[in-house]
Structure 1
Amino acid sequence: MRSILKFGRNISIGILLAIGIGGLAPTTLNAAIFDRSGRKLPDREVNSARVNWQMLSTAAGRRYNGVGLIEVNHGICTGFLFSTGVHPQAPAYVLTNGHCQGAAHKLPTNREIIVNRPTKTRFTVNYFHDFKAERLTIPVKRLVYGTMKNTDIAILELTKTQQELIAAGVVPLQIAATPPAAGDPAIVIGVPSEGVKDELNFLHAVTCRTGELANVKEDVYNWKKSIRHRCSIVGGMSGSPMISLKTHRVVGIINTGVNDNATKQPPCSLNRPCEVAANGSIQTFPQENYGQLVDRIPSCFNAQGVFDLTQSTCQLERP
């Protein structure tokens, strides 16, 4: 959904933005962009210096070098390496959106939970504009978990171990065990692509605050307890981590917002998500973007740092 932060370039469903990096387009989401005073800007100003974000340099962004580019056969997203413990042989895992991992030109259904599926996805770290060495691109071994049912997440197992990437200087992020409080300061790290000039298609940092939780509907998808936020977001940033500036842990993952071009569409349609109140009433808020909670994800990794959906502690929904 554009809202779903576009990731795919040729995907006919509105969810994927049509812009490209190396022939690939963001998989989904344009959402809303803001200036540094928090005022919403038109999508057409995405390349303006007024947008509240900053392109990261290799030196300034080192702690975020494990946030990188997700490439699939139909587009791009952002994803990030996250820590699963200290076991030396634990596989490396990356978190991104479920809508970034559907079959080519097709999103997962609203009831689908994908487990242990092969994928041709690639993940590239050190995605800074001024990075001089050869960037490290790691093939994804498999999609261990992916869904757009009640949330929008995908967990990817890489062909490298976590320790191998740490030894190569890549920094995994820590996932928070609790949801964020409304108003907490946060930073979003991602690779903006939709409408963005080629020379700017690199890691950006967006400082903002987490908002209240809301139930969000977009087309057939319903996401419970989504995080409202007014962080500048465009296509390609699907899967970007939202990191607390208090704890420096990931408290959410970016996934959707309202595209300017969709404001005349019916409420809750693709690219125009809406909020669903307790009484069932719906309303679209073009000035709000949304993210998904991530606090349940660590519960599904065992003592060896391996994803295990069957263990009793795991709080993710099962097929």
Structure 2
Amino acid sequence: MRSLLKFGRNIGAGVLLTISLGGYLADLTVNAAIFDRSGRKIPDREVNSERVNWQMLSAATDRKYNGIGVIDTNYGVCTGFAIFTGANNLRAPAYVLTNGHCQGRFRKLPTEREILVDRSTETKFTVNYFHDFKPERLTFDVKRMVYGTMKNNDIAILELNVTQGELLKAGIAPLQISSQPPAIGEPLIVVGVPSEGVKEELNFLHAATCKTGELANVKEDVYNWQQSIRHQCSIVGGMSGSPMISRVTQQVVGIINTGVNDSASKQPQCSLNRPCEVVKNNLVQTFPQENYGQLVDRIPTCFDRSGVFNLQQSTCQLERP
């Protein structure tokens, strides 16, 4: 579950330091793997170079991604994105999806067995996070976290203090979540706001491309995600919670959550910032060239016909407390 969450409140001017994940949050500098345009892993220190396989998005040409923005938790920032809940009820609440590790209690994460439901939060969500967006960006208060966990997944579903209708009227485009997991080799675009080590003038929406790899059983500290999506899209701190969008269907098939930090190379395998894979015979192995995401296909089953999140409805496949 790598610290792709980035510390700091000043999201307009970049942020200062990063947190570690697991129990209480520690002051660590972390990134996930970045790659060049030939698919080769390059050192984290080259995050500001033109070699990195990603591009900064523009409000003029990439408006369809304007609902992907910054989650400000008061103790750090992540990426999150507005989601379409499957109904045309404009009075339904607007919802945002991000990582569970972006929504723990102040400076503390959910435990590996914890499922949080209907929790208050002081989180804010800022959209139109393009480098060339001229009007003032829109910031919404999060009314509550309706669901959050790091048990077997790393997701948080946030209810905004506006309706779907109000979100659409503001011109914000929610993303649709696929009801099917991605196929191996499916082409992806990952869109998020990189922060860790990134120059201020680059701290805006970026898009990275790659393909989905095989599912892996990933362990990091006390957390275990048995169906993690391998991928080699360039990811750095601040991009936790970024959508993994199929370039075939244009639907979200996963959510970014972790990867191996270069500076953690001497740490024990499976420790914080150095996730490992559980392979044959319960042996573990670290793959520094892999980043990981989590499946999201069960999330749509928990929204009712009116577009309201309902963990108790019979169709809901998310794990309950």
TM superposition score normalised by structure 2 = 0.94
Q: 1:24 to 1:260 in 2, by over 3 A?
A: closer
**1:7: Cα distance to partner?**
3.1
- For 1:136-175, what aligned pairs fall within 5 Å after superposition? 136-175=138-177
Aligned partner (choices 180, 188, 191) of residue 178 of structure 1: 180
**Which residue is equivalent to 1:284?**
286
Question: SS of the residue aligned with 2:175?
Answer: coil
- For the residues of structure 2 that align with 1:259 and 1:58, how far apart are their CA atoms? 31
8 Å Cα contact 2:186-2:212 kept in structure 1: yes
Hey, what does 1:129 align to over in structure 2?
131
- Measured in 2, the distance between the counterparts of 1:234 and 1:245 equals 21
Task: Indicate the residue corresponding to 2:115 in structure 1.
Answer: 113
Give the aligned partner of residue 66 of structure 2. 65
Instruction: Give me the whole-angstrom Cα distance separating, in 1, the residues matched to 2:283 and 2:164.
Output: 45
Residues 6-46 of structure 1: CA deviation (Å, up to 9, x unaligned)? 33359xxxxxxxx9955565556611000000000000000
Structure 1: which amino acid aligns with 2:75? H
Q: Which residue of 2 aligns with 1:42?
A: 43
Unaligned runs of 5+ in 2: 21-29
Q: Is the 8 A contact 1:66 1:170 kept in 2?
A: yes
**Aligned pairs for 1:20-31 within 5 A:** 21=13, 23=15, 25=17, 30-31=31-32
Alignment counterpart, residue 207 of structure 1, candidates 206, 209, 213: 209
Distance in 2 (alpha carbons) for counterparts of 1:65 and 1:260: 31
Checking the alignment, whether the CA contact within 8 Å between 1:25 and 1:236 is kept in structure 2 is no
Q: Which amino acid aligns with 1:55?
A: M
Q: Which position in structure 1 is the counterpart of 2:277?
A: 275
User: CA offsets, 1:175-205, max 9 Å, x none?
Assistant: 0010001111110000000000011000000
Provide the alpha-carbon RMSD of the alignment: 1.6
Unmatched 5+ stretches in structure 1: 11-18
8 Å contact 2:54–2:207 — kept in the other structure? yes
Counterpart code for 1:229: H
| Residues 27 and 77 in structure 1, CA contact (< 8 A), matched pair in contact too | no
Q: 1:207 to 1:22 in 2, by over 3 A?
A: closer
Query: Match of 2:287, SS?
Result: coil
Alignment partner for residue 218 of structure 2, among 210, 216, 229? 216
Equivalents in 2 of 1:44, 1:161: separation in Å? 42
Structure 2 equivalent of residue 15 of structure 1: none
Q: Is the 8 A contact 2:3 2:18 kept in 1?
A: no
Partner Cα distance (2:13, 2:267) in 1: 28
Q: Quick one: percent identity of the two aligned structures?
A: 72
Look up the equivalent residue of 1:81 and give its one-letter code.
Answer: A
For the residues of structure 2 that align with 1:26 and 1:65, how far apart are their CA atoms? 25
TM-score for both structures, normalised by structure 1? 0.94
CA contact (8 A) 1:73 1:120 kept: yes
Size of the aligned set, in residue pairs, is: 310
